[in-house]
Amino acid sequence: MGLARALRRLSGALESGDSRAGDEEEAGPGLCRNGWAPSLLPVGRRRGRFVKKDGHCNVRFFLFALETQTSIGYGVRSVTEECPAAVAAVVLQCIAGCVLDAFVVGAVMAKMAKPKKRNETLVFSENAVVALRDRRLCLMWRVGNLRRSHLVEAHVRAQLLQPRVTPEGEYIPLDHQDVDVGFDGGTDRIFLVSPITIVHEIDSSSPLYELGRAELARADFELVVILEGMVEATAMTTQCRSSYLPGELLWGHRFEPVLFQRGSQYEVDYRHFHRTYEVPGTPVCSAKELDERAERASQSPKSSFPGSLAAFCYENELALSCCQEDEEEEEAKEGDEVEAEDAAASPRVLTPTLALTLPP
């Protein structure tokens, strides 16, 4: 930019003849004490040559443009065309100053816009819970946004870290297993305007499929949960992470509601964000055992179930189906006892008849 200004001023000076005159020319009014005529003087005030008799070129145009770009005042400069090395040093210094300014401004802006502070406003629940939802055993945890600004393109991920031994005998100290939170259905992408409960359905593809309440308490793993998104103001990506150990998974609990309707508006009460309550009747067996019992229950007569299961709370419904096997065993025992009593009473009834049919 300074070079362009210098070229413009140089072309204007060449057209007007405004350059340094020879030693034999007299200095007119308005000239500097060294005999220099600024290019801002009226045309015709000074006439001379651009190239002096000693062969040196006039570089005052370039120095004037450089001073115009990098400073706000014009004074007597110590660097002249008599010292080309000093001119080069001034140019390099200006370039270094611009680069330094760019780095300082960039660092300050990056520090101000760094999404690290944004992570502190994204919270996870202190505990995760295991309970029934939609007739399936599910692992759930809660996420929330404490700011009014939205998190753009927010999505969640989860991984289970645990040691594993392969069938070949190889020991893997930290085996990473993805925990499905709705990748196929798109439910992993959330609109975080209020606290949301993330749900992982414990099915046959889940690493928790064979774990009941007792097995979960003895398990050795860590569930890492991740929330990612873009900051609305800066469009920078931020990531917030948390993790849960087996002791932080509450079996048979659910989260208390935090969203309440006040007139025509909704109110979020974060005092209930980490609170849970116990759900009676939650089965303590694993999801695998529940599926096996449900399969056996579907093959048994429907008369063994009372009326309509829809009239029951869902937790009691599944608990009832889990206890169906025990009830069938009790009914079988009662039937055996009745048959035994009938067998014991039958000889007394049939003895007179048999006595009549026997020969004397």
Q: What is the dihedral of CA 336, 338, 339, 342, to 10 degrees?
A: 160
Mean pLDDT of 258-287: 92
Burial class, 353, CB count within 10 angstroms (exposed 0-12 / middle 13-18 / buried 19+): exposed
Mean pLDDT of 289-305: 76
| Contact between residue 252 and residue 213 where contact means Cβ atoms under 8 Å apart | yes
The yes-or-no verdict on residue 160 having pLDDT over 70 is yes
Mean pLDDT of 216-232: 92
Q: Which H or E run contains 349? A: helix 324-357
What value, to the nearest 5°, has the Cα angle with vertex 42 and ends 40 and 43?
A: 110
DSSP structural state of residue 144: E
Fold of the CATH domain 118-288: Immunoglobulin-like (2.60.40)
Amino acid at 211: L
Phi and psi of 345, rounded to 5°? Answer: -85, -20
Q: What is the pLDDT of residue 100?
A: 87
How far apart CA 348 and CA 138 sit, in angstroms, is: 60
| Domain spans, the chain | 2-113, 118-288
Q: Are β-strands 249-251 and 128-133 bridged in parallel, bridged antiparallel, or unpaired? A: parallel
How far apart CA 241 and CA 250 sit, in angstroms, is: 20
Both tokens of 288, joined, read: 């695998």
The yes-or-no verdict on residue 269 having pLDDT over 80 is yes
Any idea which residue has 């793993």 for tokens? 221
Residue-wise pLDDT tens digits, 49-80: 544 555 555 677 677 766 766 665 566 656 66
Residues 6+ apart with CB under 8 A from 19: 13, 37, 46, 48, 49, 50, 58
**Highest mean predicted confidence (pLDDT) among 65-79, 86-100, 127-141, 296-310:** 127-141
Bigger pLDDT: 137 or 328?
137
**pTM of the shown model:** 0.58
